[in-house]
Chains A and B, each alone.
Chain A
Amino acid sequence: MTASWSFALLVLGPLMAAALAFVFPRRGRGVALAAAGITAGAWVGLVREVMAGGVQIQRVGGWSAPLGIDLRADGLAVLMLMVTGLISGAVTLYSGRYFRDAHDLESAHRERYFWPLFLFLWAALNALFLSADIFNLYVTLELLGFAAVALVALAGNREALKSAMRYLFVSLAASLFYLLGVALVYGQCATVDLTLLAAKAQPGPTLWVALALMTGGLLAKAALFPLHFWLPPAHANAPAPVSALLSALVVKGAFYILLRLWFEAFHSLNTPAVAQVFGGLGAAAILWGSANALFQPRLKLLVAYSTVAQLGYLFLLFPLAAARDGGFLAWSGGLIFLAAHACAKTAMFLTAGNILHAAGHDRIKDLGGITHVPPISTFAFGLAGLSLIGLPPSSGFAGKWLLLSASLVQGQWWWVVVMLVGSLLAAAYVMRVLTRAFTRVPDATAPHPIPPVMEWTALAMAVLAVGFGLVARWPAELLRVGVPWP
């Protein structure tokens, strides 16, 4: 009973809030705060049920799969919901001030539309993480994609509009690829339920093609190399809180579906060769993204390319988690890494927003002398950087450690090399920025003061990114609930 309400409120809470924020544009922040409260409560209820009673299933409408839609909450889903909630909460606090800073018509307009769009995004994510139905996942993907594109375009400048347009094309085409895959799957198996598919799906040409289509679409949405091209401009040109949401959460949504497909519904098709291909793309993403981040002129572009790189780590989970031996190590490692990256990236983009706010630009070479004036923001950036590099005891380290251990256990040492090189590259690009904080510039212009709530929110996320590593045992235990393989 509690679980039912949790399911309902986690999705309908933000959804209704989005509608209300649209009807009452001036009450946006209040509505979002209320939604945050409701989802937090619902999440607590859900996590207690999951910890006590295992995987929770909600049969919507009282029907059950294959005819109806099932919602499902296992450890993985609960973890993703937690990350979503934390980051959305931080973004709510941050944006309450961010969009109010300039008192012109343009920013007033932006604030009015930010809230409903943001709440839609949140609802879409929650719905996505709870869904156990591949067609329903398509609808949530569209909801997610539209909200994300509209949020990017909210920045309103030329580059933002162009990158939003490109993002929309990629997102829509990817959704259609996914949907075509769903059609083929339905034609073959007569069900779109993840659990039932796991029993019904047998390797065969149709399902191979279907899965390839869905995977292709999702990889484009998850911006895995070489389908990452749309990400850096979109993430770099969006308003800061939006960039945080996109990098931390939106791309993870597609990744989450990939996990559900390859490790649950179609686990019989998850062969070592496929897994190695995923891993290889992930490795390429790590190297390519990091190398590009080293040469970006602007802070936000650097952070965006870092996202491209860090997403690569997530895909190392594929070759490592498929094995029985040490598989769970990699599984929990990859997902803890995901949470770590989400928190760290939020902190980084929010900080980048702060710096942009203080300096009026984010050209890295001119940041000397500005970053040491807002020390809290710099500190936040540094802490988040620790987690990105994977220095202990941050959560990034916890994730990397588990992945490393898994590859050592399985003798797949090539991933070890990639991960370590990736860490060093991450250190290099993080230090590119932090060095500016220590540069003494004789005639530093006085920066624009940053509202405290914006600084402290960024710092809180950074502290979370590090501190989460100290309690990483808890998510690892949580992830055992409903782990997809025996």
Chain B
Amino acid sequence: MTILDLITGLLLLAALFFFVAGTVGLLRFPDLYSRLHALTKADNVGLGFAVLALMLQAQSWSEVFKLGLIWVLVLAASATVCFLIGNEALRRGVKPWTGKSP
């Protein structure tokens, strides 16, 4: 096991943490908007760590480049989708949670 493998492991653990956090958020948060927040933000960071970890294991620079591209694309896509869902929910009159029970 090289030092590179060790760093990979650590990065993956970090990724795992963020994914778990995101998932917990998705399950536990009270309303749509906060769930969206948890899902997109935490998962994007988690994916970022995972991509980084894999980059360290890559065989060539082109692989590194492709992994990076994946991250960027997912980032763009999830941001857009998150925006669309939130926007649509707002349009349909889904009220954000304010902490007070109605």
Indicate whether A and B are direct neighbours in the complex (CB within 8 Å).
Answer: no
